[in-house]
A and B are shown apart, each in its own frame.
Chain A
Amino acid sequence: MEQLLQHLVNAIILGSTYALLGIGLTFIFGIMRVVNFAHGELYTFGAYMVYLFSVILGVNFLLAIAIAIVLGVLLGAAIEYTLLRKLRGADVDTTMLVMIGAWIIMQNGEQLIWSGVAKSIPTPFPEEPLSLGLVSVAWSRVFVFVVAIALIILAQTIIQRTRLGKAMRATFQDRDTAALMGININVIYLATFALGSGLASAAGALLGPIFIVMPTMGNLAVLKAFAIVILGGLGNMKGAAIGGFVLALVEEFGAGYVSSGYRDAMGFLLIILVLMVKPTGLFARSERIG
């Protein structure tokens, strides 16, 4: 029972960052129809930026995370502007190939700059875990959970409550009509990619200090993000949030009760199963964003 609860708590904390990753990816796909293979690299980028600012430059830990998120947003905007803008209207496969190219360049760039040696980032939180009756949680993980949930709510608010978000939702429904209504599609695409990238970077910035930071950490992250997005249905943000938690639960319990070696395989088996049974994802009722 204790073990079960502990797994559950771990899964919920991990799930919050998975949700962050998944929402960013599904958002980009939903609006831009781009399968963003560079998503995992933005995740890695976020982690390295925290390392750079917090460990090398000695900036305050919390500030370093904020800087990493902002830089992730800027990098996303730069990628959209340089690589994707010219490919407006190209098919999914074409943009996918370009993003795979970007992914290779970024990952090897990281390898070149930071070398393949794993880095760890110390956190300013107390070593003593937070004890909640039967289970205990490290404070650094509590922090990750709180920030991740806050960011998810922030992203949701931007999409549901702001003018920009309204324009994004309109573009999602019908790009051409939205353009006819005077929405500047280029701005929307730029904002979409930047926001999605910022979320990925945030996930990396939050998880980096908990795990270790290395150039290849993005590979599994991007594949898991795909798994999450498929679970929720491509382009479905609520689905992606739930998908993130589902994947974390399956992984955590799979690793705990079946086999820890196959931890990372759980997600992929889940995708294959979901697509066999319900190809539109678990939570897709109709195609809409928000």
Chain B
Amino acid sequence: MTTTMQWLFVAALAGLPLVMHDQYFFHVLIMMGIFTIGAMSLNLLLGYTGQLSLGHVAFFGIGAYTSALVSLGFDIQITETYTFVLAPKPAWFSLICSVTLAGLCGWFIGKLSFRVRGAYFVIVTISFAEVVRLVALNWVDLTEGPMALNNIPPLATALPGFDSGPLQRKIVNYYIVLGVAVFSFLVIKRIIQSRLGRAMVALRENEALAKSVGIDVTRYLVLAAIASAAIAGAAGGLYAHYVRIVDPDVFLFIYTVTMVIMVVSGGKGTLAGPVVGGVIFGLLPEFLRGHTVPEVQWMIYGALMILIVYFLPQGIVPAVNKWWTAYRSKRDQVVATNVSLGRNPQEQEG
């Protein structure tokens, strides 16, 4: 996908409210957008550094809880006599808090878990997510536990003059999510094309070699984890302000799996991959909803995941790219020039 196509895609999405006037339609798109942001952030770790983090939902959930708590206000009793009280803050401020805190957690978890690799890394990340979920469930004074945090102020009212009807609110939310998604995409693109991105790919391809040429592996991995966690936190914050209720179920493993499926099906290590996967797996439940019960829907998810691993192990975007470059190279010799310029068409155009 070229830059022009990317902007055309965004323009098409931005123009949708002009032609569609269905609340439910926008609800589906908003949820799709939120999870696509999550998938894009996961792609930084899974696709570019090659580390399968299965605790990604922790950052999403931390973002959601932070945003909810900061905008609702909370108090923590620290000692017998001293209680930390935070008055409710505006929604935009709590969203920034959720990005910051998720980023900090990313740094902390990155520091801890990047000491191990492979299966160990996967299990540490899952453990972390489970611990956070259990804290959210049990720290009832702060998080209300299973009773959930209710009536979280929406972001949409933060913009004056738009708060008229439910459809209007949906559309404002839609633009906010779209804006954050585009911004996240640009940030990730910038990271990938920077020194950090090249270091990440280098250590994915061959960690020992990357180390030997002087790349500080742990440092770059932790940086990637911070960026990834912060963006996931933003997605969580958006979720909290949109759904307006947050309970410990936001930490469920199945959400991590959803994001992983989005990344893997679209194409890990490509910029467009999580977006393509996000669109497919964001819309698929809606298509299936009318025809099946949720259990069958999830079973289809699982089956698709297996089929993708078997038949499209690189994902959809690289497969299409491959087909497209093959088609173009027949027409003219673009690929040859790309190679002579030292460009890898799959990495660059993804």
Contact = CB atoms under 8 A, between A and B. Distances in A.
B115 A276 contact: yes
Interface residues of B, number: 40
A158 to B, nearest CB: 24
Interface in B42-60: 52
B137 A261 contact: yes
Nearest to B133: A265
B116 A275 contact: yes
Interface in A237-290: 259, 261-262, 264-265, 267-269, 271-272, 275-276, 279
Q: How big is the A interface, by class?
A: 35 or more
B134 to A, nearest CB: 4
B162 interface: no
Interface in A4-39: 29, 35
B116 A104 contact: no
Nearest to B313: A94
Contacts of B313: 94
Given A112-B293, A234-B120, A271 B127 contact: yes
Contact of B253 (A109, A219, A271): A219
Looking at chain A's contact residues, is the secondary structure mostly helix, strand, loop, or mixed? helix
Contacts, number: 116
Interface stretch (A60-68, A95-103, A165-173, A182-190): A95-103
Contacts of A227: 123, 127
A108 B299 contact: yes
B301 A94 contact: no
Contacts of B264: 97
A275 B126 CA distance: 13
Contacts of A118: none
Contacts of B138: 259, 261-262, 265
A108 B296 contact: yes
Given A29-B119, A259-B138, A272-B128, A101 B306 contact: yes
Interface string B115-157: 1101110111011101100110110000000000000000000
Contacts of A97: 260, 264, 305-306, 309
Nearest to A268: B127
A163 interface: no
Nearest to A113: B295
B227 to A, nearest CB: 21
B302 A101 contact: yes
Interface in B259-312: 260, 264, 293-296, 298-299, 301-306, 309-310
Contact of A112 (B127, B131, B296): B296
Contacts of A102: 302, 306
B305 A234 contact: no
A226 B123 contact: yes
B112 interface: yes
A109 B309 contact: no
Contact of A108 (B52, B120, B123, B302): B302
Given A97-B305, A98-B310, A104-B298, 20 more contacts: A86-B310, A87-B309, A98-B305, A98-B309, A100-B302, A101-B302, A104-B254, A104-B301, A104-B302, A108-B302, A109-B299, A112-B293, A223-B127, A227-B127, A264-B134, A265-B134, A267-B127, A268-B128, A271-B127, A279-B115
Interface of A: 29, 35, 83, 86-87, 92-94, 96-98, 100-105, 107-109, 111-112, 219, 223, 226-227, 230, 234, 259, 261-262, 264-265, 267-269, 271-272, 275-276, 279
8 contacts: A83-B306, A101-B302, A105-B306, A112-B296, A269-B127, A269-B131, A271-B127, A279-B116
A-B interface, 9 closest residue pairs, ranked by CB to CB distance from nearest: A104-B302, A101-B305, A261-B138, A268-B127, A105-B302, A101-B306, A108-B295, A265-B134, A101-B302
Interface of B: 52, 112-113, 115-116, 118-120, 122-124, 126-128, 130-131, 134-135, 137-138, 253-254, 257, 260, 264, 293-296, 298-299, 301-306, 309-310, 313
